[in-house]
Amino acid sequence: MDNTSTYDVIVMGGGPAGSAVATILAREGRSVVLFEKEKFPRHHIGESLMTDTYWTFERMGILEKLRQSPFVRKYSVQFANPGGKESRPFYFFEANHHESAVTWQVTRELFDQLLIDHAEEQGVAVHQGVPVKQVLFDGRRAVGVEAKMADGSLRTFNARVIIDATGQSAMLSNKFGWRIRDPKLKKAVLYSYFKGAHREPDLNGGATLVLRTPPGSGGWFWYIPLENDVTSVGIVADPDYLVKGRGQDLAKIFQEEIDKCESCRRRVEHATRVDKIYSILDYSYRSKQCAGEGFILIGDAYGFLDPIYSSGVLLAMKMAELAADSIHDAFKHDDFSPERLGQFQTKLDKGIESMRKLVYAFYSDGFSFSKFLQKYPEQRVNIINLLIGNVFKDGIDEIYGPLSEFAYIPPSLYEEIPQLDAVSSNVDDSSQPNGNRALSAKYTCYDDALVQESHE
Ligand SMILES: Cc1cc2nc3c(=O)[nH]c(=O)nc-3n(C[C@H](O)[C@H](O)[C@H](O)COP(=O)(O)OP(=O)(O)OC[C@H]3O[C@@H](n4cnc5c(N)ncnc54)[C@H](O)[C@@H]3O)c2cc1C
């Protein structure tokens, strides 16, 4: 084992955000150690990528491995209304004529393993099965971490920068009480996997489908084709509708919902469910700050946005790149202040807000992309740019004026609600309130094994 305990950068968490930032920094000359509490492979949700992840994959030097992977290729997204009427597919190549207009649908066990192995290959000291128990501070400055090693001993590691990529555990934003919850975006999720479900031929076979459930449910099904003829199918809906008062039998609830959604039902009627029912209660949230003295938050540890457009991994990747750039800048100026490390927050938040507005549009009563595009056909390219993940594009905001005629477009999260979670002074990971898990004892958050099985 590598016995070094002082590095340029410590990364906590080996999901897409952690592996990406660690890889980029190591390839660009920094010494990096990464701690992941699980031993991979491990289950995780978040399978449909957005095409703009391409540019981060390129910087990580992992594109060729993805091209060689068994992952299904994704060319488009398609929506169906509650009556089952389907939109024309939104092909990404309508707005982008580069190879990057095609991306992948990924089984996260394999994808996250590929990323963390790649990080190690690129020079990152990777420790799997090793949780960080606490971040060590000298006054307000983060100076290191205490990790629980495989033999059970606690060991201290030091670095100039600590990156929190712990996903929804959000170790540091919980510690500082920085987490702001989105007032409306609270959903319950049930999902599982099917073999032999319907697949369209050719390009459309790899599409992500968003199939709306009947009015009043506030919900939709995702339908994501994976390799080996497996399809990921999940329903996202208002908790009061989906789970409240419906008992413990999640498989029964899931089947009832499939039966109510014609466009989902006909696709899985001859398929076999090959996994248990997983459940999540998810809350969209963001941290008030993305950096402090000597530390940065990225990925879900910074913020989580409703999964309707599959933006989670894309935002994690973008944050990894922005954080890597600001860390290089901090070393150059020997300045690890929150201002320098968090210099990207304004740009980042603008991008997240663009996506958030489109999320709110989707959940607005009676909203449909087809109706919107009938009146404003010239906005199709802006919709596709958002579905691609091109959220930092100049001028992307011009869509929201026309869109506000059809949907509620919210002010920014910080303007809307200055409410913060309670401040915790304890950073011991085992005692951290998890933002989503804390909502209910019954439905837990997935990165702490949200794996609630149905009572079958
Ligand atoms: C229902 C649902 C559907 C979704 N669908 C999509 C989708 O289709 N496409 C998409 O792009 N995104 C989707 N997402 C979002 C996506 O799952 C996340 O945004 C993405 O995984 C974030 O990556 P991350 O690296 O920040 O966090 P994670 O992937 O959660 O990784 C965090 C890692 O940190 C580790 N960790 C935690 N605490 C510690 C500690 N103390 N010490 C060491 N390690 C620690 C965890 O074990 C974990 O491996 C979905 C989310 C939900 C809830």
**Segment 93-113, tens digit of pLDDT:** 888 889 999 999 999 999 999
- pLDDT band of residue 448 (cuts 50, 70, 90) is very low
Return d(Cα 172, Cα 96) in angstroms, integer: 38
pLDDT at residue number 4: 62
pLDDT at residue number 86: 86
* CA-208 nearest atom, ligand 1: 8
Per-residue pLDDT tens over the stretch 213-245:
988 777 999 999 999 999 999 999 989 899 888
pLDDT at residue number 2: 53
SS3 79: strand
Please provide the average confidence, as pLDDT, over all residues in the chain. Answer: 88
Task: Indicate if ligand 1 lies below 6 Å from the C-beta of 120.
Answer: no
**CA-closest candidate to residue 190, choices 272, 250, 129, 261:** 250
Q: Residue 60: is its pLDDT beyond 90?
A: yes
pLDDT at residue number 438: 28
CA of 83 to the centre of ligand 1 (A): 33
CA of 129 to the centre of ligand 1 (A): 16
Q: What percent of the chain has pLDDT over 90?
A: 72
Minimum CA distance residue for ligand 1 atom 39 = 166
Pairing state between β 103-105 and 72-74? antiparallel
| Mean pLDDT, residues 104-128 | 98
Q: Residue 429: is its pLDDT beyond 50?
A: no
CA of 361 to the centre of ligand 1 (A): 24
Looking at 116-125, 148-157, 200-209, 427-436, which range is the least confident one?
427-436
| Mean pLDDT, residues 180-186 | 88
C-alpha distance from residue 452 to each of 195, 231, 429 (Å): 21, 20, 21
| Mean pLDDT, residues 411-420 | 72
pLDDT at residue number 437: 34
**Joined tokens for residue 48:** 């449909």
Which residue type occupies 277?
Answer: I
* CA-50 nearest atom, ligand 1: 11
pLDDT at residue number 7: 98
Q: Residue 75: is its pLDDT beyond 70?
A: yes
Per-residue pLDDT tens over the stretch 255-297:
999 999 999 999 999 999 999 999 998 889 999 999 999 999 9
pLDDT at residue number 391: 84
Q: Residue 433: is its pLDDT beyond 70?
A: no
Pairing state between β 208-212 and 76-80? parallel
* 410: CB partners within 8 A, 6+ apart: 184, 356, 357, 360, 416
CA of 108 to the centre of ligand 1 (A): 10
CA of 88 to the centre of ligand 1 (A): 31
- pLDDT band of residue 418 (cuts 50, 70, 90) is low
| Mean pLDDT, residues 338-367 | 92
Please tell me which residue, 386 or 418, carries the higher pLDDT value.
386
Task: Indicate if ligand 1 lies below 6 Å from the C-beta of 47.
Answer: yes
pLDDT at residue number 222: 97
pLDDT at residue number 389: 86
- DSSP-derived secondary structure letter, 86: B
**How many CB atoms are closer than 10 A to CB 138?**
10
Pairing state between β 32-36 and 125-128? parallel
| Mean pLDDT, residues 402-414 | 89
pLDDT at residue number 369: 86
pLDDT at residue number 3: 57
Same fold, 6-73+104-179+286-447 and 183-283: no
Task: Indicate if ligand 1 lies below 6 Å from the C-beta of 410.
Answer: no
Phi (first) and psi of residue 301, to 5 degrees: -65, -20
CA of 307 to the centre of ligand 1 (A): 12
- Residue in this structure with the two tokens 């095409």, named with its chain if needed: 51
**Joined tokens for residue 374:** 């009938």
pLDDT at residue number 166: 98
Domain ranges of the chain: 6-73+104-179+286-447, 183-283
Task: Indicate if ligand 1 lies below 6 Å from the C-beta of 44.
Answer: yes
pLDDT at residue number 431: 30
Pairing state between β 230-237 and 220-225? antiparallel
Minimum CA distance residue for ligand 1 atom 14 = 46
Residue pair 197/233 in contact by the 8 Å Cβ criterion: yes
Q: What percent of the chain has pLDDT over 70?
A: 90
Minimum CA distance residue for ligand 1 atom 15 = 312
CA torsion through residues 10, 16, 19, 21, sign: negative
Task: Indicate if ligand 1 lies below 6 Å from the C-beta of 18.
Answer: yes
- Residue in this structure with the two tokens 């209910």, named with its chain if needed: 440
Regarding the domain delimited by 183-283, which CATH topology (the fold level of the hierarchy) does it fall under?
D-Amino Acid Oxidase; Chain A, domain 2 (3.30.9)
Q: Residue 454: is its pLDDT beyond 90?
A: no
Provide the CATH number for the domain formed by 6-73+104-179+286-447 in this structure.
3.50.50.60
